[in-house]
Amino acid sequence: MWTGQPDPRRVLGHSDLFVIPFSLMWGGFAVFWEVSVLISGGFFFMIWGIPFVLMGQYLIWGRLLHKRWQRQRTICAVTDRRVLVLRWRSIQSAMIARLPPFTLKRVHRDGSGTIDFGLERSPWAGGNAWGDAIPGFFGAAPPLAFFDVPNVRRAYELIVGSAGTQPPAV
């Protein structure tokens, strides 16, 4: 009844208020370490610092490219019975009749927004700084939600209509 794809241009979120300063400190220190070791000539410590530099670069800019890449390969859908999120190598779904209370969040001026289905999730996945910064690192799937999809109110109304309940005031 409805399909949408997350906006790949929206890669910054609320969690970045924490992740950006941390990533800059991590990456800056790692580069400082490598430069210091290169000057002093310590081969072992130079090799030791490489993973830290790579992780710092991923945290600074690589995670944003990865998030954009993921959003380009994600499709959200509403059928008469289910909500679906099809990602590059996985499918998440839930029966609409069995959904816990769900909420319409962050509706933007262009009509795009987020629906959080409130399903059980790891505290490390998706809804916080580390789940967004290092997706899949903590072994948990991202939460079942439609993030930054177009025409989000239409999707929300279809889900509410299929669930047979009245939508709360939004």
* Predicted local distance difference test score (pLDDT) of residue 76: 95
Give tens-digit pLDDT for 12-46.
Answer: 887 788 899 999 999 999 999 999 999 988 888 88
Range of the domain at 43: 16-69
Q: Is the pLDDT of residue 163 over 80?
A: no
Q: Indicate whether 31 and 104 sit together in one domain.
A: no
Whether residue 125 sits in one domain with residue 51: no
170 domain-assigned? no
Domain at 113, CATH number = 2.30.29
Q: 55 and 86 share a domain?
A: no
DSSP per residue over 65-117, as a string?
Answer: HHHHHHHHT-EEEE-SSEEEEEETTEEEEEEGGG----EEE---TTS-EEEE-
Same domain? For 90 and 157 the reply is yes
Predicted TM-score (pTM) above 0.85: no
- Asked whether residue 33 is domain-assigned, the answer is yes
| 54/132 same-domain check | no
Kindly state whether residues 93 and 155 are assigned to the same domain: yes
Return d(Cα 4, Cα 77) in angstroms, integer: 6
The rounded distance, in Å, linking the Cα atoms of 7 and 95 is: 25
